[in-house]
Amino acid sequence: MFTLLRRLAGVILITLICSAASIAADLPKDRRGQVLIYGAYGFTGKGIARLAAEYGISPVLAGRNAEKLAAFATEVGYPHVVLNLDDHQRLVEVLRHFELVMHIAGPYTYTAEPMLDAAIEAGTHYVDLTGENHVIQAQLDRDEAFKAANIMVMPAVGYDVVPTDCLNLYVAQRVDNPVTLTLLMNGEYKAVEGAMASRGTIKSGLELLSRPTLMRIDGVMVEVDQPKVMEKTIDGQARTFVQIQWADMLTSWVTTGVPTIEVYQQQSADIPGWVFWLIKREWGKKLLVWLVDNYFPEGPPPEAQADRQTQLIATATNNRGESFSAQMITPEAYKLTFHSSLIIARRILDGQWRAGFQTPAGMYGADLALEIPGVSRSDLGK
């Protein structure tokens, strides 16, 4: 019996060694300039992978579903590796072959920490697309660990929050000691039918809805009972804006130091009350996620990505009542995300990085968003 167990243990050990060797054999020998895209077969991961070559990036694709991953990797002609976030040692082994991991698999409430743990151990730079404030705060809290590992960690390198972070910094720099930043997001600036969110974005949104409503007031995140509602006329049209928990309440606070940050989105439709009832219950949240996975389209159609535009208006104000406003017109959110994430990845590979937790505009400046095709900015004045 003892001999049999020893032989079995030996077989398992040899299998693990061969598996690790096989992984290493299929991955880059020199990590410099190498990018791993994790979550590559999701809607956003596919968009980033398809565009990567335009930025001189030839990624290796990764994810946990072997069948979906292999099918997409064959389609685009990139190598791939099956990875599960529960296998820390395998994650570390793989990440050691890459200078940067683009983590595109949410909801980040569950996926960010295991990938970051591996990135720290492997010494691999990390970017993601989270818009979840609690996730970004958890990353900010690990700043010293990132510095000790000599890696840069930059969350929210997509529509959350590259254009808004850049616009907020731009207006904040034009007011003496600003104390308030107000951001309006007009998604109906150039509306297109069918331009809905991807499954991944909706599931991350459900995660946020299940949590307390927090707002940035006087430098701290404060729980509030009800978001504010603002009526504003823009371009001659009366619009209703509702305050939302956008990631800028944390990222733009880090970028600008402005203590009170309010973000408003144009109200297009009310969320049914039963959604809020379900989302507060664990079984209800699982049911909603199941419905999204099985009955929602993967993402917006190509025509929506080609034609939709969003208007962003940011205003910085100080205690003397002095203010400055500017607007930014952006392309469709996913189209922007494909480009912004790769622009930042390219900069990291080119050596433009700083160890620790960083924000897009804080690291690369207010003009970073203007490098994205289809983005424009104009001053609205004082």
CATH of the domain at 260: 3.30.360
**Residue 26 falls within a domain, yes or no?**
no
Does the structure show a pLDDT above 80 at 113? yes
**Residue 186 falls within a domain, yes or no?**
yes
The whole domain housing 293 covers 162-332+365-381
Give the residue among 375, 371, 260 at the shortest CA–CA distance from 312: 375
Amino acid at 224: V
Residue pLDDT, tens place only, 129-177: 999 999 999 999 999 999 999 999 999 999 989 999 999 999 999 999 9
Residue pLDDT, tens place only, 196-243: 565 566 655 666 666 677 888 999 989 888 888 888 887 778 888 888
| pLDDT score for 18 | 37
Between β-strands 376-381 and 323-331, what pairing exists: parallel, antiparallel or unpaired?
Answer: antiparallel
Mean pLDDT, the chain, as a whole number?
A: 86
Cα–Cα distance for residue pair 279/301, rounded to 1 Å: 27
**Residue 41 falls within a domain, yes or no?**
no
- What is the rounded radius of gyration, in angstroms, for the C-alpha atoms of the chain? 22
**Residue 239 falls within a domain, yes or no?**
yes
Chain centroid to CA 316: how far?
A: 25
Average pLDDT for residues 8-33, to the nearest whole number?
Answer: 57
**Residue 88 falls within a domain, yes or no?**
no
Average pLDDT for residues 310-324, to the nearest whole number?
Answer: 96
**Residue 117 falls within a domain, yes or no?**
no
What band does 5 get if pLDDT is binned at 50, 70 and 90? Answer: very low
Per the structure, how many domains does the chain have? Answer: 1
**Residue 343 falls within a domain, yes or no?**
no
| pLDDT score for 16 | 40
Give the residue among 160, 192, 196 at the shortest CA–CA distance from 337: 160
**Residue 282 falls within a domain, yes or no?**
yes
